[in-house]
């Protein structure tokens, strides 16, 4: 009898355990809820189970539907906290009410505080704020359809440690908005490097407007096939690496050793073609001697090896001090105490590339920095030697995270309808191959996300692509310019959207420019205009055009910061061929003298990197690149 009772009790306990309410990852201690808007709270439970949500001494009840889904909506709340939110037996503490921002896109949202830290060392070291909470959505994909929840994550407070690997734009946005409004800030980041806009669009939208993209994702709904491809690619990569390592003379003969004799190696400047070939795959070695004085011998230091293409393994006196597996991160490696000796020290870098010549990126720091501030610049001259030359790695060209809809399904859809104050969209680099189609997709993204959140006026600030690549004095047909124009036009044609122009904040040699605080200040100004200060003037815009012969006058919506000569203007005639044009600022007008007798088009900053842009508002905001028809 006791055994029967024990079994029945066990079944009851199991049933009770299964009946527990489940909340999405967003609903955790430390969360921030949006002030001044209705607050949806939702989750799962057993079908028919009663769910009670208690907040600020008021209880709101509902019953889970046949699928176990339930939701309640809390009334609008004023900023404040901390409060407690209770859902049946789940207690969520330290809940703040303030503003919640969603930051989404690709790698320039991903760029972390760790990456930009040298730009803002003091500001980051000396700042923490318990009223700013950070929430990172972990990477996930789904080809089948929208998920109910995201991967496990949590809310954390804003300080150097918690923000170190968090989005720099997100972190700075929290600081800017808290400084402006003095209320708690919640920053949700769901971005992923290298991803095209299609990955963030719903399947319904793609099926209506881009059926081929929709079918592409359908093709990869066979999970066994996807796993097989991924497994095959990984095996191929592992095998390629093993063959290279097994045949690399540098690993066998000790190229990294402090006493290795490299006198027979060729000497090259790091900015020359160090391999001497058009293309090189495999491993390639470079070495130089670094002389350290007695005062710094044995001391710990920081080694900066700029940015390298592609992967690197870096050694000092035979000991590995760091490695990086792809091209973009800056190489900042710690040299432990006792490794550097007085006199000559061997610095060795083993490049590994699967396509394209190994090379050093210009305009990056190459030096050793000691704790007392002493800097030891590296030489641009290196001794160089081939390692193991390789054939291309035999892999299927497949990247699951870039498929249409997969990030919308797994990283965006589960966040709705969590109430928001606004959205930052910083993406476009991966769509520069088809810039003209981007405008429609961006417009669909904004309208689709608003529909998902059931917030038709949800504010969007779109960060326009920054300047990048080598500057040119001649007109260019630029995919980057096409995306910038698509961003400008999509924002212009969308209510309650603003453009953060970043055409002067980029770097010629880095697709991930480091001036993220300046970018975020412009984002914050965009939200200020959309939400609180409708009369605020952002970047200068053309509101009228007058053409007389070869003379063009652009009427702006505001005067420019300075009168005088302007650069990066071009005009074209009926043949569509653009030529540089002289331009002068006079208050709120730009006077253009066209090199074309009868201009029909004018454009500004229409280059990958229009390095001489100098048309600024009195508030210091740059005019956006644009192209427009002006002829009859």
Element (H, E) at 333: strand 332-335
Q: Tell whether the model's pLDDT for residue 283 goes beyond 70.
A: yes
Q: Percent of the chain, pLDDT > 70?
A: 97
Q: Percent of the chain scored above 90 by pLDDT?
A: 94
516 backbone dihedrals φ, ψ, rounded to 5°: -75, -25
The predicted structure's pLDDT at residue 356: 87
Residue 407, pLDDT above cutoff 50: yes
Query: Tell me, what's the pLDDT at 378?
Result: 98
Q: Is 145 exposed, middle or buried (0-12, 13-18, 19+ CB in 10 A)?
A: middle
Measured between alpha carbons, how far is residue 631 from residues 99, 106, 545, 548, 628 in Å? 46, 38, 10, 10, 9
Q: Could you give the count of Cα atoms lying within 13 Å of 490 in the half-sphere of its Cβ?
A: 28
Q: Are 611 and 596 in contact (CB under 8 A)?
A: no
> Mean pLDDT, to the nearest integer, of 272-277?
96
Please write the tens of the pLDDT for every residue from 333-380: 999 999 999 999 999 999 999 988 999 999 999 999 999 999 999 999
Asked if residue 484 has pLDDT above 90, the reply is yes
Residue 10: the pLDDT is 47
d(CA 566, CA 583): 5
pLDDT exceeds 60 at position 278: yes
Let me know how long the chain is.
Answer: 632
Residue 287 has pLDDT above 70, yes or no: yes
* The pLDDT of residue 2: 47
Comparing CA positions, the residue from 9, 441, 375 lying closest to residue 199 is 441
Query: What pLDDT was estimated at residue 115?
Result: 96
pLDDT band at residue 631 using 50, 70 and 90 as cut-offs: confident
Instruction: Give 235's contacts (C-beta < 8 A, 6+ positions apart).
Output: none
Assign residue 157 a region (left: φ > 0; alpha: ψ between -120 and 50; beta: otherwise): beta
What per-residue confidence (pLDDT) applies to 541? 98
- Closest by Cα among 30, 43, 51 to 69: 43
Query: What's the whole-number average pLDDT of the chain?
Result: 95
Rounded to two decimals, the pTM is 0.94
Q: What is the pLDDT at residue 632?
A: 66
Q: Is 497 helix (H, G, I), strand (E, B) or coil?
A: strand
| CA atoms within a 13 Å half-sphere pointing along the CA-CB vector of 446 | 27
Task: Characterise 282 by phi-psi region: left (phi > 0), alpha (psi -120 to 50), beta (else).
Answer: left
Q: Does residue 394 surpass a pLDDT of 70?
A: yes
Report the pLDDT value the prediction gives residue 19, as an integer from 0 to 100: 54
Is the model's pLDDT at 12 over the cut of 50?
Answer: no
Which tens digits make up the pLDDT trace of 173-197? 999 999 999 999 999 999 999 999 9
> Are the beta carbons of 151 and 140 closer than 8 angstroms?
yes
User: Kind and range of the H or E element at 169?
Assistant: helix 168-181
407-430 average pLDDT score: 98
> Is residue 171 predicted with pLDDT exceeding 90?
yes
Predicted confidence band of residue 201 (pLDDT cuts 50, 70, 90): very high
The verdict on whether omega for the bond into residue 490 sits within 30 degrees of 0, i.e. cis, is no
Instruction: Answer whether residue 4 shows pLDDT above 60.
Output: no
Above 70 in pLDDT, residue 16?
no
Mean pLDDT is lowest, of 2-11, 152-161, 576-585, for: 2-11
Grade residue 20 by pLDDT with cuts at 50, 70 and 90. Answer: confident
Total H helices, total E strands in the chain = 14, 34
pLDDT digits (tens, 9 = 90+) for 52-73: 999 999 999 999 999 999 999 9
């Amino acid at each position: 009898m006791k055994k029967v009772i024990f079994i029945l009790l066990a079944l009851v306990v199991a049933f009770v355990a299964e009946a527990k309410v489940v909340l999405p990852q967003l609903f955790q201690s430390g969360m921030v809820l949006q002030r001044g808007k209705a607050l949806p709270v939702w989750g799962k439970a057993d079908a028919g189970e009663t769910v009670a949500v208690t907040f600020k001494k008021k209880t709101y009840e509902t019953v889970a539907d046949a699928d176990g889904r339930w939701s309640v909506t809390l009334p609008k709340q004023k900023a404040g906290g901390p409060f407690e939110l209770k859902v049946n037996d789940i207690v969520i503490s330290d809940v703040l009410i303030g503003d919640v921002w969603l930051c989404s896109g690709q790698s320039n949202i991903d760029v972390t505080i760790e990456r930009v830290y040298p730009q803002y060392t003091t500001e980051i070291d000396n700042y923490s704020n318990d009223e700013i909470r950070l929430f990172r959505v972990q990477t996930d994909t789904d080809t089948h359809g929208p998920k109910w929840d995201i991967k496990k994550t949590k809310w954390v407070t804003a300080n150097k440690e918690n923000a170190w690997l968090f989005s720099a734009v997100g972190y700075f946005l929290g600081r800017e908005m808290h400084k402006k409004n003095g209320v708690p800030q919640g920053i949700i980041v769901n971005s992923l490097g290298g991803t095209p806009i299609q990955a963030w669009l719903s399947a319904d939208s793609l099926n209506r407007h881009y059926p081929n993209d929709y079918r592409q994702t359908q093709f990869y709904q066979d999970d066994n096939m996807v796993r097989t491809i991924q497994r095959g690619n990984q095996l191929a990569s592992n095998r390629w690496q093993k063959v290279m390592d097994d045949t690399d003379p540098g690993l066998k003969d000790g190229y990294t050793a402090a006493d290795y004799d490299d006198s027979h190696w060729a000497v090259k400047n790091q900015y020359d073609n160090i391999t001497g070939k058009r293309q090189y795959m495999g491993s390639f070695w470079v070495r130089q001697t670094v002389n350290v004085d007695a005062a710094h011998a044995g001391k710990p230091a920081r080694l900066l090896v700029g940015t390298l293409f592609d992967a690197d393994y870096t050694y000092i006196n035979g000991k590995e001090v760091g490695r990086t597996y792809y091209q973009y991160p800056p190489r900042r490696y710690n040299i432990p105490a006792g490794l550097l000796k007085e006199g000559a020290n061997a610095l060795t870098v083993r490049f590994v590339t699967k396509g394209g010549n190994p090379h050093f990126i210009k305009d990056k720091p190459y030096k050793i920095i000691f704790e007392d501030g002493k800097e030891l610049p590296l030489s641009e001259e290196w001794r160089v030697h081939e390692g193991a030359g390789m054939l291309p790695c035999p892999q299927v060209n497949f990247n699951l995270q870039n498929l249409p809809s997969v990030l919308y399904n797994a990283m965006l859809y589960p966040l709705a309808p969590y109430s928001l104050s606004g959205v930052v969209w910083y993406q476009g680099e991966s769509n520069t191959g088809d810039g003209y189609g981007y405008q429609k997709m961006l417009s669909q993204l904004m309208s689709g996300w608003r529909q998902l959140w059931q917030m038709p006026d949800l504010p969007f600030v779109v960060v326009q692509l920054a300047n990048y690549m080598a500057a040119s004095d001649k007109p260019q047909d630029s995919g980057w310019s096409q995306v910038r124009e698509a961003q400008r036009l999509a924002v212009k044609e969308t209510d309650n959207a603003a453009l953060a122009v970043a055409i002067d904040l980029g770097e010629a040699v880095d697709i991930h420019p480091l001036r993220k605080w300046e970018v975020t200040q412009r984002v914050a100004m965009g939200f200020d205009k959309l939400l609180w200060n409708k009369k605020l003037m952002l970047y200068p815009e053309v509101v009228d055009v007058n053409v007389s012969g070869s003379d063009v006058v652009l009427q702006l919506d505001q005067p420019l910061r300075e009168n005088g000569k302007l650069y990066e203007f071009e005009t074209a005639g009926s043949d569509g061929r653009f030529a540089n044009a002289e331009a002068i600022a006079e208050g709120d007008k730009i006077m253009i003298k066209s090199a074309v007798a009868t201009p029909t088009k004018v454009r500004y900053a229409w280059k990958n990197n229009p390095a001489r842009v100098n048309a600024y508002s009195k508030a210091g905001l740059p005019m956006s690149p644009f192209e427009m028809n002006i002829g009859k």
